[in-house]
Structure 1
Amino acid sequence: MQPCDVAADLSEILLTEDQISARIAEMCREIERDYAGEELLLVGVLKGAVMVMADLARELTLPITMDWMAVSSYGSSTQSSGVVRILKDLDTALEGRKVLIVEDIIDSGLTLSWLLENLKSRGPASVEVCALLRKPEAATVEVDVRYVGFEIPNAFVVGYGLDYAEKYRNLRGLGILAPHVYEH
């Protein structure tokens, strides 16, 4: 889906598909440098990170394995509740593994902070974070993120895997959702 297909629902286009692809390629070069000679386990956080995870995995030249975890702190709201629930746990044991959590977006940092502690308790060799997007103004807890694609304003964004009520995930690029869509 192109931004023009849902133009009435977007107040602004923040990032184009080309900008996102270029930045993912740059992040992959950093990851390859940092993990040269290592096997990396990518842990994607469902559902939002699907697009980032797919593009990151295809661009990386390192040996990787992938697994998925689904956690929720949003429900159908536009703001995190701060209460994290595991909806789908990992199928892979983490003991001794180099783990890279792949996130679509970091808002408050509450969910990611919880997830980092949860995964670190499973005995990996290391756990780092790669996020396509971070909203510095929305942070309520400090989370160490090794790879950040873009810092964006504290607005409700959709596209490239991010949704509102399960819509807009397939939007190519990233846009700010117009308030009339979610203010009822």
Structure 2
Amino acid sequence: MINILDKKFVPLITTEAIETRITALAKEISTDYKGRCPLFIVVLNGAFLFASELVKRIPLSCEITFIRLASYSQTQSSGSVREIIGLNDSIEGRDIIIIEDIVDTGLTMAQLLRQINELSPASVAIATLLHKPEALKTPVDIRYTGFNIDNKFVVGYGLDYDGMGRNLDAIYVLA
């Protein structure tokens, strides 16, 4: 058990399980995009560790850019998304892979997909480390999922509780 601020968390997914799954996702993406040059759009802050580990295992020519969106307040989704740093690169005609840390309500991803699709990409796929199917409020087509988890609050591997816990090398769930 670990303590972060005023909350207690217990282990959910080990470092080894995360690394094994990321390697498998990288192989799948590499096969699917062979001969193409995808643009990875990494959603900050949470997806930075997942993105780093994922893209370094993908031997394709590719580009990486970053955006920052927020929809969480403490341990609950706020239900609204505010864009903090937007996409500045042209994506017209590009194969896009959005790298996200977690898809739960789907609200953040649905808004991001609308914005990206307005810019006329050739294709758009989502790669997420974690997915909470029970929490979905709007349908989202996720092509690459690391782990499906229960609708519980998690930290670690880039995910935080009020800014803390991102540096943990495993995933922990609220006790």
Q: Please give the range of the TM-score, normalised by the shorter of the 2 chains.
A: over 0.9
Q: Does 1:174 align with 2:171?
A: yes
Measure how far apart 1:83 and its partner are.
Answer: 1.5
Give aligned pairs, total. 173
Q: Which residue of 2 aligns with 1:146?
A: 143
Q: Matches of 2:79 and 2:59 in 1, distance apart?
A: 36
Could you tell me which residue of structure 1 aligns to residue 98 of structure 2?
A: 101
> Which of 63, 82, 86 matches 1:85?
82
1:11 deviates by: 3.8
**Larger strand fraction of residues:** 2
Output the CA distance in 1 between the equivalents of 2:138 and 2:170.
Answer: 27
Name the structure with the higher helix share: 1
> What residue is the counterpart of 1:54 in the other structure?
52
Q: Which runs of 5+ in 1 are unaligned?
A: 179-184
Mapping of residues 57-76 of structure 1, within 5 Å: 57-74=55-72, 76=73
SS at match of 1:116: helix
* Code of the aligned partner of 2:57: E
Percent of aligned positions that are identical? 42
Match 1:15 to one of 13, 16, 25: 13
Give distance in 2, aligned partners of 1:167 and 1:113. Answer: 26
Q: TM-score, normalised by structure 2?
A: 0.94
C-alpha displacement at 1:80, in angstroms? 1.5
Q: CA deviation at 1:73?
A: 1.4
**Which of the numbers 135, 152, 156 marks the counterpart of 2:153?**
156
Look up the match of 1:116: 113
- What's the CA shift string for 1:48-75, capped at 9, x where partnerless? 000011001111111111001111112x
Q: Is the 8 A contact 1:10 1:175 kept in 2?
A: no
Q: Which runs of 5 or more residues in structure 2 are unaligned?
A: none
- Name the Cα RMSD after superposition: 1.4
- Displacement of 1:24 in angstroms is 0.4
Paired letter, 2:27: R
1:177 and 1:170 map into 2 onto residues whose CA distance is 16
Name the residue aligned to 1:129.
126
Output the CA distance in 2 between the equivalents of 1:86 and 1:7. Answer: 30
Letter in 2 for 1:47: N
Cα distance in 1 between the residues matched to 2:139 and 2:150: 17
Alignment match, 1:182: none
Contact in 2 for aligned 1:108/1:138 (Cα 8 Å): yes
Offset, 1:78: 1.6
**Aligned-partner Cα distance in 1 for 2:164–2:46:** 11
Runs of 4+ deviating beyond 6 Å: none
Give the TM-score taking structure 1 as reference length.
0.90
2-structure distance, mates of 1:21, 1:109: 25
Does the residue aligned with 2:19 lie in a helix, a strand or coil? helix
Distance across 2 between alignment mates of 1:12 and 1:167: 15
